[in-house]
Amino acid sequence: MKAVVTRDIDKYAVEDVTLDGPKAGELKIKMAATGVCHSDLSVINGTLPLPKPMVLGHEGAGVVAEVGEGVTEFEVGDHVVLSFAPACGHCHFCNHKLPQFCEKGAPTGLMLDGTARVKKGDEDLLVMQFLGCMAEEAIVPAISAVKIDKEIPLEKAALVGCGVMTGVGAVINTAGVHAGASVAVFGCGGVGLSIIQGARLAGASTIIAVDLADNKLEMARNFGATHTVNGGNEDAVGKCKELTGGHGPDYSFEAVGVPDLMVAANFATRRGGTTVIVGVGKLTDSVPFNALMLSMDGKTIKGSFYGDTNFRSDMPMLLDLYRAGKLNLDDMVSQTYTIDEAPQAIEDMVAGKNARGVIVY
Ligand code: CXF
Ligand code: ZN
């Protein structure tokens, strides 16, 4: 089968590889669609320090093609969305309503039993987030999949596997944005646009989108931004204050992973408000906060991982919102690609062309 593999920093290619069958507790998925996410690029360029060679892909949906021993919740033909974090349901974090931090989720690149399923000759290939779903087929832990309604188009469903869940979840689960709130979103890629959609769903009355690219700001308006600010020509923090009666937004979200933008988002937030850091930055970067003002301004700074999701309930819920016409996934898929076109899809993402590019098999 074909898979997108990174072997060295800044290098990746579509390769022909083989796939073993599913072992106990696993599923074989015939992939239907895989979204291309900045975190795939972060594996390629080493921002996410994961071992290589690694099959990319962590935002996917497909059809169950084989069921491993002991799996009772799925059968062949089921449509599933894949979660990039497994949830065992029994560990400390699963038992404390934090399944996004399930103890099974430490990303080694191997499957949960410590062995590999993807091979190139005798060589073992690792997979991103137990999935490696930028490939025609994938073996995944059954505890990383959720069954969805067969009527939902799989190329739309794939997006809730990462970007849409991360963004909408940051608004609903992490921040708990209330109706009538003011919200600023710094960075309007797939995650930022999903934060904007989440804010619209939560009933925010002011939604300020900040980006450097006018095409992203135009998309932001389409997804629900009430105001747009090009941070390249305008003082974004000043504009956020001006648009919120001089106080700053109740909630600011950073969706890129850049320290200066995290600082700007927190500067913009009103006194007593909440700044949510959604962007995945570099391990080597730190962000300062002012020792006097953090207490004086009473702001909350929260990190949000995977939209603090309980994916088994949240992902079908998001797809229900899609079906009800309340969550726009149709415009989120701004371009589709074949797997042979994966390099083009990654280039287009770097160039900021897409809301989301999706590989369709
Ligand atoms: C990332 C977070 C770090 C692990 C891979 C996925 N989130 C979104 O892309
Ligand atoms: Zn992602």
- The pLDDT confidence band at residue 136, using thresholds 50, 70 and 90, is very high
CA distance 353 to 294: 37
Instruction: Establish whether the linkage from the previous residue to 249 is cis, with ω within 30° of 0.
Output: no
Place of tokens 């997108």: 4
- The pLDDT confidence band at residue 348, using thresholds 50, 70 and 90, is very high
- The pLDDT confidence band at residue 170, using thresholds 50, 70 and 90, is very high
User: Average of pLDDT values for 259-265?
Assistant: 98
User: In angstroms, what is the span from residue 129 Cα to ligand 1's centroid?
Assistant: 8
Adjacency order of strands within the sheet including 2-8: 11-16, 2-8, 54-55, 123-127, 118-120, 18-19
Residue nearest to atom 5 of ligand 1 (CA): 39
The radius of gyration of the chain's CA atoms, rounded to the nearest angstrom, is: 20
Task: For residue 355, give the 3-state DSSP assignment.
Answer: coil
Residues 230, 212 contacting (CB under 8 angstroms): yes
pLDDT at 96: 98
CA distance 44 to 12: 7
Probe residue for ligand 1, chosen from 34, 45, 48 as the CB with the greatest number of ligand atoms within 8 Å: 48
Task: For residue 135, give the 3-state DSSP assignment.
Answer: strand
Residues 161, 60 contacting (CB under 8 angstroms): yes
Q: For residue 227, give the nearest of 183, 262, 161, 162 by alpha carbon.
A: 183
User: Average of pLDDT values for 258-269?
Assistant: 98
Homologous superfamily in CATH for domain 2-161+331-360: Medium-chain alcohol dehydrogenases, catalytic domain (3.90.180.10)
pLDDT at 166: 98
Cα 312 off chain centre by? 16
Q: Is the CB of 37 under 6 A from ligand 1?
A: yes
Instruction: State if pTM tops 0.85.
Output: yes
Probe residue for ligand 1, chosen from 6, 280, 308 as the CB with the greatest number of ligand atoms within 8 Å: 280
User: In angstroms, what is the span from residue 292 Cα to ligand 1's centroid?
Assistant: 33
CA distance 279 to 315: 20
43-73 pLDDT, tens digit per residue, is: 999 999 999 999 999 999 999 999 999 999 9
Homologous superfamily in CATH for domain 167-304: NAD(P)-binding Rossmann-like Domain (3.40.50.720)
CA distance 344 to 330: 21
pLDDT at 349: 97
Residue spans per domain, the chain: 2-161+331-360, 167-304
User: In angstroms, what is the span from residue 5 Cα to ligand 2's centroid?
Assistant: 16
77-113 pLDDT, tens digit per residue, is: 999 999 999 999 999 999 999 999 999 999 999 999 9
Q: What average pLDDT is seen over the chain?
A: 98
281-335 pLDDT, tens digit per residue, is: 999 999 999 999 999 999 999 999 999 999 999 999 999 999 999 999 999 999 9
Q: Is the CB of 162 under 6 A from ligand 1?
A: yes
CA atoms within 13 A of residue 233's CA, in its CB half-sphere: 5
pLDDT at 23: 98
Strands (E), the chain: 2-8, 11-16, 18-19, 26-36, 54-55, 60-67, 79-82, 118-120, 123-127, 137-141, 145-148, 182-186, 206-211, 227-230, 251-254, 274-277, 300-303, 333-337, 356-360
Residues 124, 116 contacting (CB under 8 angstroms): yes
CA distance 132 to 3: 8
- The pLDDT confidence band at residue 11, using thresholds 50, 70 and 90, is very high
* Cα diameter, the chain: 64
User: Average of pLDDT values for 175-183?
Assistant: 98
User: Average of pLDDT values for 194-208?
Assistant: 98
Residues 67, 75 contacting (CB under 8 angstroms): yes
